[in-house]
Amino acid sequence: MMMSHDEQESIESLSLLNVVRSFRYWPRIFQLLWKVSAKDLICFSILNLIQGFLPALSIMATQQLINNITSTQEKILGAFLFFIAVSIFFGAVSIYQSYFESLYQAKLSNYTNVIIMEKASRLTLADFENSQVQDQLKRVQTDSGYRPFQITKQIFGIASNLISLVSMISIVMIWNWWAALLLILIPVISFFSFLRIGRQEFVIQWKRAPKSRSAWYLSYLLTRDNSFKEVKLYTLGSYFVKQYRKICEDFFAEDKLLAGKRLKYSVVYKLIDNLSSYSIIFLAVISAYRGQLPIGNVVGIFQSISQVQGRSDSIVQQVLGLCQNNLFLEQLFSFLDIDSTERERLQERSEIKEINKIEFRDVSFRYQGKQQYALKNINFTLEQGQTVAIVGHNGSGKSTLIKILLQLYAQTKGQILINDLPIQEINDVSYQKRVGAVFQDFVQYEMPVRQNIGYGNIGEVDNDQRIAEAASNAGIDTLIENLPNKLDTQLGRWFEHGHQLSGGQWQRIAIARAFMRDADVYILDEPSSFLDPEAERDVFERFHDLIKNRIGIFISHRLSSVNFADQIWVMEEGEIVEMGTHAELMARNQTYARLYRLQADAYSTNVSAV
């Protein structure tokens, strides 16, 4: 899943060997490029290869034109027409290359973002709660819009420049072989100097991911409406801006240091490169003065030297950039390979069409990296027609139990049976389709009402009747009728014409979303957190009617609302310590009875005070 210690060291000690190793991803990148658009890839490849031959062809056309100035009119005309044809062809290739590049860049960027989103949608909740996975996701998301195309352009750019380099060095080599060798040798030496800078740049970018996420979160807090009220009240805005500015300043200081090192290497390299080029040009001029070279050939050599310098610089920078981008590829494919067999395993599991029975046998669970168990030896059986309420203090394990039941986490120990079949043998997707749930931290989609409810059963998102039934079951049919555009009313304040709801109305929307699903199991996790007592009673009564002949589970802190449940479970420190009806638990006079009386006394005291 994550990078090993050896891979971390590999990044820290980027060398020529590491660079060579990084090319192992080339087959996969070409597979990706082919999937994006085979036709555009072929056109892009051909145009880049042609582009590689054109500079040398242009130099030859110029050289021929100058050498034929003193020849016959027919030869001058022929050389001039050849020069024009090469120039026109050069321009046409450049225009079409830019055209295909822009199209292919857009397609590649979109495709890469889509496969990252698809992969993210298949991750587990444990993955999303893993900070290292979040850092990895941040790295690939940040660079996914441009890195893949950069890699593509660099690969073909290197090929094109190498063709140009070889062809133009051949022009110089015809005159003087050691001059051609000198033109090649200097860029090769500079490559190893810039490789060190490239390593430092990648390491810095690699280590920035956690701070980059922190900067994003600070910006999120200042621009999100549900956090703005508290930020404003506690005057946190200037503090968050200061923290954000500090991260940006740290990043800038690192960038400035690297830019200084790159500048130093660039000045030294350019000085040596220019001295060698001027020496070769001086020798060419002397040869022409002595009559050993035609003037056209001298001009061709001048142009070749200039082109060799430019192409050499480009190749060095492209190879260095490719080294860094290949390390990005390592991160991209490493992310895409997280649990890569999960889909295959799901396809091999049994489909489930109905949930009749749920059984937990000695189920325990602990979070990754924790020694203490969040759930310990949980045992129960639920069948169709049963309703259970789970109560207990915060942190007692209630929500964790629900996440295990939903298979958002896999149990650490014990066995979960669905219809007497181990849950590991059941396809997760088919199982989760049979469950409707409202989470404590339900989502408020900044979208129209239709989507907010219809997402509970995405296949019915355009079914007005089905959505209306779910809304009625949640008691918000009148609310929707009074909205300006009914089901098509935009909710929230993020987008134009948005209509903001109260917390209780948003919660009922989330409940309607759960009711939208024709499920066998319905779960409400703290469904009354935004509801007043009257609205809460209404929701529970509707819930009770909806779950007849189904399994119903709800979590609540308000013990006065759980009387209708067939059973009440009391949880403490990850264990179910009591089970029974309200009357049975009150008669036992243990944890439930004590909590119930505390809430009743508090309510009575408040009423008396009023």
What 3-state class would DSSP assign to 557?
A: coil
- Band of pLDDT at residue 63, cut at 50, 70 and 90: confident
Residue of 448, 452, 454 lying closest to 484 (CA atoms): 448
What's the pLDDT band for 45 if we cut at 50, 70, 90? confident
Is pLDDT above 60 for 354? yes
pLDDT confidence of 49, banded at 50, 70, 90?
A: confident
Condensed to tens digits (0 to 9), the pLDDT of residues 236-256 reads 788 888 888 999 898 888 888
Percent of the chain with pLDDT strictly greater than 70: 80
Q: Taking residues 24-33, what's their average pLDDT?
A: 78
Q: How far apart are CA 131 and CA 212, in angstroms?
A: 13
The region of weakest confidence among 204-218, 316-330, 587-601 is 316-330
pLDDT of residue 344: 47
Is the pLDDT at 440 greater than 70? The verdict is: yes
The band of 145, judged by pLDDT with boundaries at 50, 70 and 90, is low
pLDDT of 609 strictly over 60: no
Range with the lowest mean pLDDT among 172-186, 345-359, 384-398? 172-186
Is 40's pLDDT higher than 70?
yes
Q: What is the pLDDT of residue 610?
A: 40
pLDDT at 80 over 70: yes
Residue 144 CB contacts under 8 Å (≥ 6 apart), including other chains: 109, 112, 113, 116, 332
Residue 15: predicted pLDDT = 53
Q: Beta 413-418 vs 357-365: how paired, if at all? A: antiparallel
Torsion of CA 105, 106, 109, 112, to 10 degrees: -110
| pLDDT > 90 fraction of the chain, expressed in percent and rounded | 0
Per-residue pLDDT band for 10 (boundaries 50, 70, 90) equals: very low
C-alpha to C-alpha distances, 391 to 109, 383, 388, nearest whole angstrom: 48, 20, 10
Q: Quick check: 149 pLDDT over 50?
A: yes
Q: What is the DSSP string of 358-422?
A: EEEEEEEE--TT-SS-SEEEEEEEEETT-EEEEEE-TTSSHHHHHHHHTTSS--SEEEEEETTEE
Q: How far apart are CA 407 and CA 342, in angstroms?
A: 14
pLDDT at 2: 42
Between 600 and 79, the more confident residue is 79
- What 8-state DSSP symbol labels residue 462? T
Does residue 343 carry a pLDDT above 60? Answer: no
Residue given tokens 């080599």 in the structure block = 173
pLDDT of residue 608: 42
According to DSSP, the β-strands at 375-383 and 435-438 are: unpaired
Above 50 in pLDDT, residue 6?
no
The two three-digit tokens of residue 221, written as one number: 């807090």
Q: Which two tokens stand for residue 54?
A: 């054109």
- Write down the pLDDT at residue 18: 56
Residue 2's identity, in one-letter code, is M
Domains of the chain: 26-338 (1.20.1560.10), 384-411+421-609 (3.40.50.300)
DSSP single-letter state for residue 340: T
Burial class (CB in 10 A: 0-12, 13-18, 19+), 223: exposed
Highest mean pLDDT out of 133-142, 338-347, 380-389: 380-389
The token duo for 499 is 């209509």
Q: What is the pTM of this model?
A: 0.60
Contacts with 439 (C-beta within 8 Å, 6 or more apart), sequence order? 510, 525
Residue 135 has pLDDT above 60, yes or no: yes
Q: Give per-residue pLDDT as tens, 481-519.
A: 888 888 888 888 777 888 888 877 888 888 888 888 888
Q: Where are the beta strands (DSSP E) in 413-493?
A: 413-418, 421-422, 435-438
> Greater confidence, 542 or 550?
550
pLDDT per residue over 205-215, tens digit each?
A: 777 777 887 88
When mean pLDDT is compared over 286-295, 481-490, 500-509, 593-602, the highest value belongs to 481-490
Per residue in 214-232, pLDDT (tens digit) is 888 888 788 776 676 667 7
Average pLDDT over all residues of the chain:
77
**Highest mean pLDDT: which of 282-291, 303-312, 496-505?**
496-505
- Listed range (22-36, 104-118, 380-394) with the worst mean pLDDT: 22-36
Strands 575-580 and 567-572: antiparallel
CA dist 295 → 37, 286, 290, 303 (Å): 47, 11, 11, 12
The pLDDT of residue 142 is 67
Say if residues 523 and 436 touch (Cβ distance below 8 Å): yes
The pLDDT of residue 81 is 85
pLDDT given for residue 405 in this prediction: 87
> Which residue reads 């979070």 in tokens?
367
Q: How far is CA 302 from CA 59, 171, 271, 292, in A?
A: 10, 10, 18, 16
Q: State the pLDDT at residue 199.
A: 67
Greatest mean pLDDT among 88-92, 179-183, 603-607: 88-92
Which pLDDT band holds residue 469 (cuts at 50, 70, 90)? confident
